[in-house]
C-alpha cells in the first residue's frame, strides 16, 4: 500500500477555474500529470484524463504551513494545507537524525511533513544538535523552538553553521529574561486581569540581536512571529539593508489584540502573547507593505485538560490550521493585500524558505492544488472542529472562504 | 436583633435603589470591576445593620438558617477565612471550610473537578480563594450557586475593598464628614501594587465612589498601565503622601524583598516604610489602613500602626465581618425566596 496509493495514476485536468498565479488571477485550468503540474492556463484535457469542473472557483497552490506543533491531518486538509513544517518541540524533541527521518515520512500518503531540526540538543539552547545529519534525514530548516536561545554565543555559532549548510534558521524572538514567567503583554489588560506581563519590547530586543548575528554569520534568518511595531521596524530596516531576513506571523496577531484575553479566555493565551491594538495595526501594515513574508497557522491543538485552567496555568497555543485561509482572506477583503499576495504569504514564500518545489502554480512543480470558494460563508465553532482540539480564539466568528477540493501530488485527498 | 433581620431581608434605604434584585443584579461577587457605583453603595448600606448587630452581646440571627456555605481556600489564609466563617455562622448558616491549600489538590483539571464536586454537594454559596488570577471566575462558570471571590491571584479581592470603603465611611462619619460617597477624598495606596489584588480592587472601588487614588511603588512593583485603572502612579512616597487624606499600606511578601524586586527589607523601609515622620507629609489627621497581616518595621512602623485615633487597622477587621454578612445575605436572597429577588440571576 502506501507508496503505490500516493502516486497519481491518471492525468487530471481541472478546467473553468480562476488560477491564482504569481502574476495575477487568470481564468483557466490546470493539468496534473505524474504528480507534477504539467500545464497551466489554456489547458487541453487528454482523452484518458480525469476531469474536474472548477465552476469558476479559485485554483490555488496547496498551502505550505511553516511552523506547526502537531501533525493534525484532518485540520490541515480542511484548511487546504498540503505541506506542514513541523516545529522541533515534540516529545522527544526533533534533535536526533533518526527521529527527523521518521517524522519526514510520517505524513504519507496524503500530507508532506517537513521537519524543522532542533537547533540545540533538547532545545535547551546550549549545545548544537546534529544539524547536518538531520538535514540528510529530511530537515528543511532549523528552529530554536518555542523559546529563544538566550546565549548569544550559541546563537552565532548556530547561524554560522546554518549558513554553511544553507538552511534557514527559524527563531522565536522574545527575550527570555524579560518574558520570565509572563503570560501576557504588560499593559492595561494584563494589569486589570492581574496577570504577569512582559513588556512588548522583549520582542524587539530579540529581533535586533538575531538580525545582528545573522548579518555577522551571513545566515538566512526567519523570525517565525513578529508581532510588534518595534520588531517589524527592525525587520523592515534589515530588509532595506539587503539582509536575508524574513518575518512571519499567525492570524491571531493581526485579527486580535489583548482585549481578547478579557474574562481570562485561555484560547487567547498565545506565545508571543497578544499585543495592544497599535501593534495589531502595525502587523496589518507590515503584511501590506511586504515586511511580513509568511502567514502560518501556528497550529497547536490543546485539549480541555490543558486549556480549561486558570489563565496562567493554561498551555499556550491555538488550533489554527482550519482558519488560516479564511483569516488571510479577511485582509484581502479589507484591501490590505491582493489575492496573489495572499497565496505568496501562505504558500510560495514558505516553500521558498524551506526549499521545496511547491507553493505556486508553475509548470514542473509538485501538483499540490487547492480548489477554493473564497466567498463561502461559515462560522468558526470550537465544538465542531476537524482539529484534534477546538482551541480557537476565533470561536463564534463568521468568516468567508472554504477549501472545496484538495490534491497532493495530483491525488485527491478526502 | 429584629431590626437587622428585617433590613437584612429587604435592604436599607429602599428609596435610594431600584426595587428587589435590580439593586444588585449579579449572581456572584467576582470583582469590583463588574459593579456599578450604586451597587457598591447598596452593599455598603446593606452592611450597616450587621455592624450594629456585631456590636451587640448576642450576635446571632437565623437569616440563613438551613443554608450551606462552603469556604474553599486554595491558598493559605487566616483572617479572611475566619471572617467569612464568622459571617456565615452569625447569619445562622452551616459553614464548612475546605483547606485545599493543605490537601493534595493540584492545579489542572482538578480545579474544575473540585468545582463540580462542590456543586454536587448543593452548597448555597461558595467562597473561594485561589492563588491564580481568574481561577474564581473559572470555578464560578462551573457551579450553579453564588460564588464569592475571597481573592484570586493578583486580580481582585472585592470584599477587602468593600470593607475598606465601609471602614472609611464610618471613620469619616465619626469626624462629622459623612457624605454620599468619597468625592474629593485623596487616598494613597503604597506597596507591592504589581502583585496586589487588594490594590486593584481598592482602586476600582474608591475611584467608583469618587475618591482620587494614588498608587505608589518602586518601578519593579508597579504594573504597566496603572493609569488605566484610574489611578495616578508615583515612585516617590513623600510626593505620593502630600495632601493625602488616607494612607493604605500593603503587605510586602518576604520572598519579594530579597533582591528579585527590591534589594532588601531595610532598603524598602528606607524608601517606602510608613514612619511618623513620613506620615507628616499627608493631611493632618490622615487615616492609616493596612489589610494585614503587617510586616511591622518594614512597610509600616509600629507607632504608626498602633495610633489609636488614626490607625484603622483593627476597624478594618471588624467591618470585614459585616460586609461579608451583607454579601452572603444579598447573594442568597434568590435561593431563600426573598420577595423581589426571585428573578435574580
Q: pLDDT for B219-252, tens place per residue? A: 999 999 889 899 999 999 999 999 999 999 999 8
DSSP tag of A142? E
Kindly state whether residue A36 falls inside one of the protein's structural domains: no
Kindly state whether residue A305 falls inside one of the protein's structural domains: yes
List of chain A residues whose C-beta atoms are within 8 Å of the C-beta of residue B134: 193-195, 264, 310-312
Kindly state whether residue A33 falls inside one of the protein's structural domains: no
Residue B342 confidence (pLDDT):
85
The answer to whether the Cβ–Cβ distance between B153 and A310 falls below 8 Å is yes
What residues are paired with A24 via a beta bridge?
A21
What residues are paired with A247 via a beta bridge?
A223
Kindly state whether residue A31 falls inside one of the protein's structural domains: no
CB atoms closer than 10 angstroms to residue A157: 18
Kindly state whether residue A47 falls inside one of the protein's structural domains: no
Write the CB contacts of B47 (distance below 8 Å, at least 6 apart in sequence).
B162, B166, B319, B322, B323, B325, B326
Whether B66 shows a pLDDT value over 90: the answer reads: yes
Whether B108 shows a pLDDT value over 60: the answer reads: no
- pLDDT tens per residue, range A107-161: 999 999 999 999 999 999 999 999 999 999 999 999 999 999 999 999 999 999 9
Length of chain A: 414
Q: Which three cell numbers stand for residue A356?
A: 521545496
Whether B101 shows a pLDDT value over 80: the answer reads: no
The answer to whether the Cβ–Cβ distance between B224 and A187 falls below 8 Å is yes
Whether B171 shows a pLDDT value over 60: the answer reads: yes
Residue A1 confidence (pLDDT):
35
- pLDDT tens per residue, range B21-45: 889 999 999 999 999 999 999 999 9
ipTM value > 0.95: no
The total domain count for chain A is 1
Whether B9 shows a pLDDT value over 70: the answer reads: no
Kindly state whether residue A343 falls inside one of the protein's structural domains: yes
Between A190, A194, A313, which is nearest B197 by CB? Answer: A194
List of chain A residues whose C-beta atoms are within 8 Å of the C-beta of residue B160: none
Quote the domain boundaries for residue A393.
62-359+376-398
CATH code, domain carrying A72 = 3.20.20.140
Residue A182 confidence (pLDDT):
97
The answer to whether the Cβ–Cβ distance between B200 and A194 falls below 8 Å is yes
Whether B7 shows a pLDDT value over 60: the answer reads: no
Could you say which residues from 247 to 306 on chain B have a Cβ atom under 8 Å away from some Cβ of chain A?
none
- A127 touching B (Cβ < 8 Å): no
Band (pLDDT 50/70/90 cuts) for residue B18 is: confident
Share of chain B above pLDDT 90, in %: 79
Whether B5 shows a pLDDT value over 80: the answer reads: no
Q: Which three cell numbers stand for residue B220?
A: 519593579
Residue numbers in chain A where pLDDT is lower than 70 = 1-5
Kindly state whether residue A371 falls inside one of the protein's structural domains: no
Query: Minimal CA–CA distance to B233: which of B247, B219, B253?
Result: B219
- B9 touching A (Cβ < 8 Å): no
Taking the model in full, what pTM does it have? 0.93
Query: Minimal CA–CA distance to A297: which of A79, A61, A77?
Result: A79
Residue B198 confidence (pLDDT):
97
Band (pLDDT 50/70/90 cuts) for residue B144 is: very high
Whether B104 shows a pLDDT value over 70: the answer reads: no
- Cβ proximity of A173 and A225 under 8 Å: yes
Kindly state whether residue A136 falls inside one of the protein's structural domains: yes
Q: Tell me what the mean pLDDT of segment B119-140 comes to.
A: 95
Residue B2 confidence (pLDDT):
41
Residue with grid cell 497557522, as numbered in its chain:
A297
Distance CA A405, CA B78 (A): 63
- B225 touching A (Cβ < 8 Å): yes
Residue with grid cell 518595621, as numbered in its chain:
B297
Residue with grid cell 461579608, as numbered in its chain:
B324
Whether B294 shows a pLDDT value over 90: the answer reads: yes
Residue B102 confidence (pLDDT):
57
Mean pLDDT, all residues of chain B: 91
The answer to whether the Cβ–Cβ distance between B153 and A312 falls below 8 Å is yes
Amino acid at each position: 500500500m502506501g507508496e503505490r496509493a500516493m502516486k497519481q495514476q491518471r492525468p487530471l485536468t481541472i478546467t473553468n477555474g480562476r488560477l491564482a498565479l504569481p502574476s495575477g488571477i487568470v481564468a483557466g485550468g490546470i493539468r496534473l500529470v505524474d504528480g507534477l503540474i504539467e500545464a497551466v492556463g489554456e489547458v487541453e484535457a487528454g482523452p484518458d484524463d480525469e476531469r474536474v469542473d472548477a465552476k469558476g472557483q479559485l485554483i490555488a497552490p496547496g498551502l505550505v504551513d511553516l511552523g506547526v506543533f502537531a501533525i493534525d491531518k484532518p485540520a490541515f486538509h480542511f484548511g487546504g494545507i498540503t505541506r506542514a513544517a513541523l516545529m522541533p518541540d515534540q516529545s522527544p524533541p526533533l534533535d536526533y537524525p533518526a527521529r527527523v527521518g521518521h517524522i519526514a515520512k510520517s505524513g504519507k500518503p496524503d500530507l508532506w511533513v517537513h521537519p524543522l531540526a532542533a537547533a540545540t540538543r533538547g532545545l535547551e539552547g546550549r549545545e548544537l544538535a546534529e544539524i547536518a545529519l538531520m538535514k540528510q534525514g529530511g530537515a528543511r530548516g532549523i528552529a530554536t523552538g518555542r523559546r529563544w536561545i538566550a546565549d548569544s554565543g550559541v546563537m552565532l555559532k548556530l547561524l554560522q553553521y546554518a549558513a554553511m549548510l544553507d538552511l534557514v534558521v527559524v527563531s522565536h524572538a522574545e527575550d527570555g529574561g524579560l518574558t520570565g514567567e509572563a503570560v501576557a503583554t504588560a499593559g492595561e489588560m494584563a494589569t486589570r486581569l492581574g496577570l504577569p506581563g512582559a513588556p512588548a519590547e522583549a520582542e524587539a530586543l530579540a529581533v535586533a540581536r538575531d538580525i545582528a548575528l545573522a548579518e555577522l554569520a551571513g545566515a538566512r534568518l526567519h523570525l517565525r512571529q513578529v508581532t510588534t511595531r518595534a520588531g517589524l521596524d527592525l525587520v523592515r530596516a534589515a530588509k532595506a539593508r539587503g539582509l536575508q531576513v524574513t518575518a512571519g506571523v499567525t492570524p491571531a496577531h493581526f485579527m486580535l489584540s489583548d482585549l481578547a484575553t478579557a474574562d481570562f479566555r485561555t484560547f487567547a493565551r498565545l506565545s508571543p502573547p497578544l499585543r495592544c491594538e497599535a501593534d495589531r495595526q502595525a502587523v496589518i501594515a507590515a503584511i501590506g507593505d511586504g515586511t511580513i513574508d509568511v502567514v502560518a497557522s501556528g497550529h497547536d491543538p490543546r485539549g480541555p485538560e490543558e486549556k480549561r485552567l486558570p489563565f496562567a496555568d493554561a498551555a499556550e497555543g491555538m488550533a489554527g490550521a482550519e482558519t488560516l485561509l479564511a483569516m488571510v482572506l479577511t485582509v484581502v477583503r479589507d484591501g490590505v493585500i491582493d489575492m496573489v499576495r495572499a497565496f505568496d504569504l501562505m504558500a510560495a514564500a514558505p516553500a521558498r524558505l524551506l526549499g521545496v518545489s511547491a507553493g505556486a502554480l508553475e509548470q514542473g512543480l509538485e501538483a499540490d492544488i487547492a480548489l477554493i470558494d473564497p466567498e463561502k460563508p461559515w462560522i468558526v465553532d470550537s465544538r465542531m472542529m476537524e482539529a484534534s482540539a477546538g482551541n480557537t480564539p476565533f470561536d463564534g466568528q463568521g468568516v468567508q472562504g472554504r477549501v472545496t477540493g484538495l490534491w497532493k501530488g495530483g491525488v485527491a485527498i478526502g | 436583633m429584629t431590626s437587622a433581620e428585617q433590613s437584612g431581608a429587604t435592604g436599607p434605604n429602599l428609596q435610594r435603589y431600584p426595587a428587589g434584585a435590580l439593586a444588585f443584579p449579579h449572581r456572584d461577587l467576582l470583582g469590583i470591576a463588574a459593579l456599578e457605583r450604586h451597587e457598591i453603595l447598596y452593599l455598603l448600606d446593606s452592611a450597616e445593620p450587621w455592624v450594629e448587630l456585631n456590636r451587640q452581646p448576642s450576635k446571632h440571627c437565623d437569616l440563613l438558617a438551613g443554608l450551606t456555605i462552603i469556604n474553599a481556600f486554595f491558598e493559605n489564609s487566616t483572617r479572611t477565612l475566619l471572617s467569612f466563617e464568622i459571617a456565615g455562622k452569625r447569619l445562622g448558616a452551616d459553614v464548612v471550610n475546605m483547606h485545599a491549600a493543605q490537601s493534595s489538590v493540584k492545579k489542572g483539571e482538578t480545579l474544575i473537578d473540585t468545582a463540580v464536586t462542590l456543586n454536587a454537594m448543593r452548597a448555597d454559596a461558595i467562597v473561594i480563594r485561589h492563588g491564580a488570577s481568574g481561577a474564581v471566575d473559572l470555578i464560578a462558570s462551573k457551579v450553579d450557586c453564588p460564588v464569592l471571590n475571597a481573592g484570586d491571584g493578583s486580580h481582585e479581592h472585592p470584599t477587602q475593598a468593600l470593607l475598606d470603603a465601609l471602614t472609611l465611611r464610618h471613620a469619616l462619619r465619626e469626624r462629622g464628614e459623612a457624605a454620599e460617597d468619597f468625592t474629593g477624598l485623596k487616598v494613597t495606596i503604597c506597596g507591592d501594587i504589581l502583585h496586589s489584588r487588594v490594590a486593584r480592587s481598592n482602586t476600582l472601588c474608591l475611584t467608583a465612589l469618587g475618591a482620587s487614588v494614588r498608587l505608589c511603588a518602586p518601578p519593579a512593583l508597579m504594573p504597566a498601565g496603572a493609569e488605566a485603572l484610574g489611578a495616578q502612579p508615583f515612585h516617590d512616597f513623600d510626593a505620593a503622601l502630600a495632601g493625602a487624606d488616607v494612607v493604605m499600606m500593603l503587605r510586602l511578601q518576604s520572598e519579594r524583598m530579597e533582591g528579585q524586586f527590591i534589594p532588601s527589607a531595610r532598603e524598602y523601609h528606607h524608601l517606602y516604610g510608613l514612619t511618623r515622620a513620613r506620615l507628616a507629609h499627608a493631611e493632618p489627621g490622615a487615616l492609616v489602613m493596612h489589610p494585614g497581616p503587617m510586616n511591622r518595621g518594614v512597610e509600616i512602623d509600629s507607632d504608626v500602626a498602633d495610633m489609636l485615633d488614626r490607625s484603622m487597622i483593627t476597624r478594618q477587621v471588624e467591618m470585614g465581618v459585616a460586609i461579608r454578612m451583607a454579601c452572603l445575605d444579598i447573594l442568597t436572597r434568590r435561593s431563600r425566596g426573598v420577595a423581589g429577588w426571585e428573578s435574580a440571576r
